[in-house]
Amino acid sequence: MIKNLILDMGGVILDVNYETIFTSFEAKGVKGLDTFFTQQKQLPLIDDFEVGKITPQEFRDGVRDLVKINLSDKDIDEVWNSMVFDPRKEDILMLQQLKDKYDGLYLFSNTNEIHVEYVKDLFMKTMGFDIFSTIFTKVYFSNEIHERKPNVSSFDCVVKDAGINKEESLFIDDTIQNIEGAKLSGLHALLLEKNKTLTDLMKEGVI
């Protein structure tokens, strides 16, 4: 029996589009970055930022060194946040109702300090309340726990801190590599396909 849900953020409760980063960079005179960053593969610079090994300023400096253009901090932040779109309101409101069904409702996201601050403000403006403290039992951001998906150690870290049983927990993500990592760790895991939403899964009785 599933007693706990662990949810990804981007592509699950928040719409994202990685390709927007490239068009945003191109608008500022930078081209060819699509060979460095996708949903499945990214630069070591981004990996380091996502596990908190480098600061936002070190990340920005790294981006400037990569693109060979002296972009301002504001320019880089705007481009970096351009991949983040709208919160999925229906799914978030559904989770408010669903949370009583489970012992624990957790969020586990590969993210970074720039995005975290941005999405916190975005969710507050869109939903009118802090979803992280209101809906979730606990939130795990990769940059704060210094572990990122799909590493098995990242799932072990979350499970241990949450004090939950893997056999009683379901992880939902929109990236197949993360699903495979979760399964290797011993969690139940479900890939949220692009044409599906959490609300769809609830209506189908999956969650």
Checking if the pLDDT of 121 tops 50, the result is yes
Helix, strand, coil content of the chain in percent (nearest 5) = 50, 15, 35
| Residue with tokens 């403290």, as numbered in its chain | 133
Beta strands across the sheet bearing 104-109: 138-141, 104-109, 4-7, 169-173, 188-191
Q: Are 106 and 198 part of one and the same domain?
A: yes
* 3 touches 167 (CB < 8 A): no
In the chain, the percentage of residues whose pLDDT exceeds 70 is: 95
Residue-wise pLDDT for 163-180, tens only, equals 999 999 999 999 999 999
95: left (phi over 0), alpha (psi -120 to 50) or beta: alpha
In the chain, the percentage of residues whose pLDDT exceeds 90 is: 80
Mean pLDDT in residue range 31-35: 65
| Residue with tokens 């979760």, as numbered in its chain | 182
Count structural domains, the chain.
2
Give residue 33's pLDDT band: very low, low, confident or very high (50, 70, 90): low
Checking if the pLDDT of 40 tops 70, the result is no
Q: Among 48, 81, 114, which residue terminates a domain?
A: 81
Q: Are 110 and 8 part of one and the same domain?
A: yes
Q: What's the confidence (pLDDT) of residue 37?
A: 57
Residue-wise pLDDT for 139-161, tens only, equals 999 999 999 999 999 999 999 99
Residue-wise pLDDT for 49-67, tens only, equals 999 999 999 999 999 988 8
Give residue 35's pLDDT band: very low, low, confident or very high (50, 70, 90): low
Q: Among 81, 107, 126, which residue terminates a domain?
A: 81
Q: Are 75 and 154 part of one and the same domain?
A: no
Q: What's the confidence (pLDDT) of residue 21?
A: 85
Of all helices (H) and strands (E), which one includes residue 19? helix 19-27
Q: Are 93 and 10 part of one and the same domain?
A: yes
Q: Are 75 and 112 part of one and the same domain?
A: no
Dist. CA 161–CA 76, nearest whole Å: 34
* CA nearest to 60, candidates 79, 42, 41: 79
Domain with 145 in it: what CATH number? Answer: 3.40.50.1000
Q: What's the confidence (pLDDT) of residue 36?
A: 58
Q: Are 111 and 199 part of one and the same domain?
A: yes
Q: Are 196 and 138 part of one and the same domain?
A: yes
Q: Are 50 and 93 part of one and the same domain?
A: no
Checking if the pLDDT of 42 tops 80, the result is no
Q: Among 55, 81, 107, which residue terminates a domain?
A: 81
Checking if the pLDDT of 39 tops 50, the result is no
Domain with 72 in it: what CATH number? Answer: 1.10.150.240
Query: 29 lies in which domain range?
Result: 19-81
Mean pLDDT in residue range 91-105: 92
Q: Are 96 and 182 part of one and the same domain?
A: yes
Q: Are 115 and 135 part of one and the same domain?
A: yes
List 21's β-bridge partners, or say none: none
Structure tokens, 158: 């979350």
Q: Are 115 and 162 part of one and the same domain?
A: yes
Dist. CA 58–CA 21, nearest whole Å: 19
CA angle (122, 197, 131) in 5-degree steps: 30
Q: What is the DSSP letter of 129?
A: S
Q: Are 56 and 99 part of one and the same domain?
A: no
Distances (CA, A) of 54 to 50, 62, 65, 115, 190: 9, 10, 15, 14, 31
Dist. CA 68–CA 57, nearest whole Å: 16
To 10 degrees, the CA torsion angle through 163, 167, 168, 172?
100
Give residue 97's pLDDT band: very low, low, confident or very high (50, 70, 90): confident
